A and B are shown apart, each in its own frame.
Chain A
Amino acid sequence: MDAKDILGLPKNQLPIPQEKKSRPPKEPQRKPDGISREVYALTGGLAPLMPSVDVSQLKRRPPSDEKVTWQWLPFTNSARKDDLQLFHWVRVVNGVPPTGDYAFAKYNKSANIIKYTDEEYEKYLTDPAWTKEETDQLFDLCERFDLRFIVIADRFPSSRTVEELKDRYYSVSRALLSARAPPADITGHPLVKPYNISQEVERKRALSMVLSQTKQQERKDTEVLAEAKRITESRMAAKGPEESELPAVANIGPDNSQRAITGDAVTPSTAMPSSAIAASSTLMADNASTLASLRMLRVYLRTYALDQMVQAASASAGLRTIKRVEQTLQELGVNLKPKVPTKAVCAEHLELRKEILTLLNLQKQLQYKEAEGTSFQDSPYSETPGTPKRAPRGDQDRPFMPDPLGFGGDRFGKRDQKRKAPGRTSEAAQSPSQSKRPRKMKASDI
Chain B
Amino acid sequence: MSARKQGDGQPEDGGATAGKRLKIAKFSEDPEKKGLSRRLKDAEISLPIVYGTIAFYLGRKASESQSHKWTVYVRGATNEDLSAVIKRVVFQLHPSFNNPTRVMEAPPFELSECGWGEFEIAISLFFHPDVCDKQLDLYHHLKLYPEDESGPQSTKKPVVVESYDEIVFPDPSEAFYARVQNNPAVIVPRMPAGFNISAPVAPENTSERERGDTKDHPLSQWFMNFSEADELLKLAAARQQPFMEMIYEN
**A residues touching B (Cβ–Cβ < 8 Å)?**
263, 267, 272-273, 276, 294-295, 297-303, 305, 329, 332-335, 338-345, 348-349, 351-352, 355-356, 358-359, 362, 418-421, 424-425, 428-429, 432-433
Contact = CB atoms under 8 A, between A and B. Distances in A.
B46 A343 contact: yes
Given A301-B136, A424-B242, A362 B247 contact: yes
Nearest to A359: B247
A329 B250 CA distance: 22
Contact of B132 (A298, A329, A352): A298
Contact of A340 (B170, B231, B247): B231
Contact of A419 (B132, B134, B243, B249): B249
Nearest to B225: A340
Contacts of B239: 348, 351-352, 355
Nearest to A348: B235
B235 A425 contact: no
A332 B247 contact: no
A340 B250 CA distance: 34
Given A340-B164, A424-B242, 7 more contacts: A298-B132, A298-B169, A299-B136, A301-B165, A343-B187, A362-B250, A429-B243
A345 B132 contact: no
B5 to A, nearest CB: 13
Contacts of B190: none
A362 B246 contact: yes
A297 B170 contact: yes
Interface string B113-139: 000000000000001000111101010
Contact of A273 (B131, B226, B237, B250): B250
Given A301-B166, A345-B228, A429-B243, A418 B238 contact: no
Contacts of A345: 228, 231-232, 235
The dominant DSSP class at the A interface is helix
B234 interface: yes
A270 to B, nearest CB: 10
Contact of A344 (B131, B232, B243): B232
Interface centre among A303, A341, A349 (most CB of B within 10 A): A341
A428 B246 CA distance: 11
11 contacts: A301-B165, A334-B235, A340-B227, A340-B228, A340-B230, A340-B231, A341-B165, A348-B236, A352-B235, A420-B249, A432-B243
Interface in B209-250: 226-228, 230-232, 234-239, 241-247, 249-250
Contacts of A429: 242-243, 246
B238 to A, nearest CB: 4
A164 B131 CA distance: 68
The dominant DSSP class at the B interface is mixed
Given A263-B250, A340-B228, A425-B243, A299 B132 contact: yes
Closest 9 pairs (CB-CB, A-B) = A428-B242, A429-B243, A332-B238, A302-B166, A348-B235, A295-B170, A299-B132, A340-B226, A298-B132
Nearest to A361: B247
Contacts of A294: 170
A425 B166 CA distance: 38
Interface centre among A298, A341, A425 (most CB of B within 10 A): A298
Given A263-B250, A272-B250, A432-B243, A302 B165 contact: yes
A104 to B, nearest CB: 68
Contact of A299 (B167, B226, B234, B237): B167
Contacts of B242: 424-425, 428-429
Contacts of B249: 419-421, 425
B246 A359 contact: yes
B89 to A, nearest CB: 14
Contacts of B232: 344-345, 348
B174 interface: no
A293 to B, nearest CB: 11
Contacts of A300: 136, 167-168, 170
A342 B48 contact: yes
A79 B138 CA distance: 86
Nearest to A346: B166
Given A344-B228, A429-B246, A299 B169 contact: yes
B164 A341 contact: yes
A183 to B, nearest CB: 46
B105 interface: no
Nearest to B169: A299
A332 B136 CA distance: 33
A333 B238 contact: yes
A367 B234 CA distance: 30
Nearest to B227: A340
Interface string B71-93: 00000000000000000000000
A134 B232 CA distance: 94
A339 B161 CA distance: 12
A388 to B, nearest CB: 24
Nearest to B249: A420
B134 to A, nearest CB: 5
A295 B164 contact: no
Contacts of B245: 425
Contacts of B165: 301-303, 341
A208 B228 CA distance: 73
Given A273-B250, A424-B242, A342 B170 contact: no
A355 B170 contact: no
A302 B230 contact: no
A356 B244 CA distance: 7
Contacts of B247: 276, 355, 358-359, 362
Contacts of B234: 332-335
Contacts of B132: 298-299
A424 B165 CA distance: 40
A334 B234 CA distance: 6
Contacts of A432: 241, 243
A267 B238 contact: no
A302 B244 contact: no
B161 to A, nearest CB: 12
